[in-house]
Amino acid sequence: MSLPYQWILFDADETLFYFDALKGLKLMFSEFGVDFTQADFDEYQLVNKPLWVDYQDGKITAAELQTIRFEPWAAKLSVTAMTLNSAFLSAMAEICSPLPGARELLAALQGKAKLGIITNGFTELQTVRLERTGLQHHFDILVISEKVGIAKPDVGIFEHAFELMGHPERDTVLMVGDNPHSDIQGGINAGIHTCWYNVHGHDVPTGITPHYQVSSHQELQKILLP
Residues carrying an active site annotation? 11
Phi/psi of residue 17, each to 5°? -125, 145
3-state secondary structure 63-85: HHHHHHCCHHHHHHHCCCHHHHH
**Beta strands, E only, 112-178:** 114-119, 141-144, 173-177
Phi/psi of residue 210, each to 5°? -70, 150
Task: Assess contact for 116 and 7: CB atoms under 8 A.
Answer: yes
Asked if residue 153 has a cis previous peptide bond (ω within 30° of 0), the answer is: yes
Of the chain, the end-to-end C-alpha distance in Å amounts to 9
